[in-house]
A and B are shown apart, each in its own frame.
Chain A
Amino acid sequence: MVEHAILILAGLGQGLLVSGAIMLIVTILDILPRFCVLSGMKWGINVWAVIFASGLGFACLGSLFGVTLNLPVWTNAVVFMFCGAYLGVLLMALAETLDLFPASLGKIVPSDAMKAVLILLVIGKITGSIIYWLFPQLWK
């Protein structure tokens, strides 16, 4: 009984820590505030935080308890498009927080041309990702 209580406490503590860390990262990187403003809705940021947290719960069901939804394979394309978009947002938010663009391109590229640099960056990322997945032998 005591063992089970300790296990429960350990699990709860670990969960609290992990969710706290993840929520902190997405908030400090301005991902949640940005999406809240971008949505144009007056729901407040807590609603978006709950949606994000629901995703965390969904991931727990899948990766710890092996729950499957048995949906058709094409749904992967939809889901992973959102996953990829999120990853792009995360990378750009990280680059912005670290002041990567002003630090590396500030004196080389005029601010008017920054849009073109961003477009090139997006094209580069898509191309790199497609090459990575289409030619896995290159990385073995």
Chain B
Amino acid sequence: MAVLYVGLKASIKKTQKTELRVGDVAQLFMEDTSVAPFLDAVLGVVQPGWRVIRPVQVVQTLVQVLPEGTSIQMIGEQKCMVQGIPATREKHPFARLGAVVIGMLLFFGGALTLMNFHADVDMPRVHALISTLITGNENAGALWISIPYSIGIGLGVIFFTGFGKKRSNPNFFELEEQEYRDKVEKYLQKNEAGDTKDG
């Protein structure tokens, strides 16, 4: 008896109002037989937002196109999350303004953070003290330490992000961003698709 193996994908993104096919949500394998005709079987139309595709829906669609006597073996994920994305993303008129506001927030926020820290520890005095400690001269000039300190602040960020060299691995920021995006996506999947809304 021929066996069709169906491996559901975890999640996919597809343009709204287009036909959702089995090939979009699953990988198929059948020994000695081409699976191309089964991949085109239509599951429905892609709706806006998230939608859950469960194995039973895929099986219901596949049994209509499979030759008689073929059994289906489900492998892979327990469900596939389908996100319907707009064909053309409308540009929000205030999108750039929002980016400017966020940029200002981060710029002045960064400045506030460091100024607060400098005020807390009395950084100019600390620099003067270190300068005196090293040179034994109270008038040695704290600039010899303050200027490299400021350069070090910039270098620290470069070490973190790894600018200027070809990186094969993501840096710390990119990993955190990805993790955050995954969290947001998971939340939206749960919130919009839910467990019962699987049609």
Which positions in A face B, CB cutoff 8 Å? 3-4, 6-20, 22-23, 26-28, 30, 32-41, 43-46, 48-65, 79, 82-83, 85-87, 89-90
Contacts and interface: CB of A to CB of B under 8 A. Distances in A.
Given A27-B176, A45-B177, A54 B110 contact: yes
Interface string B123-159: 1100100110011000010001111111111111101
Given A10-B130, A28-B176, A55-B106, A49 B160 contact: yes
Interface residues of B, number: 57
Interface of B: 92, 95, 98-99, 102-115, 117-119, 123-124, 127, 130-131, 134-135, 140, 144-157, 159-161, 163, 171-174, 176-177, 179-181, 184
A38 B152 contact: no
A83 B113 CA distance: 9
Given A7-B134, A39-B99, A18 B176 contact: no
Given A7-B134, A60-B149, A38 B102 contact: yes
A59 B118 contact: yes
Query: Would you call the interface of chain B mostly helix, strand, loop, or mixed?
Result: helix
Contacts of A44: 174, 177
A51 B99 CA distance: 11
Contacts of B111: 55-56, 58-59, 62, 83
A23 B160 contact: yes
A86 B145 contact: no
Contacts of B184: 37
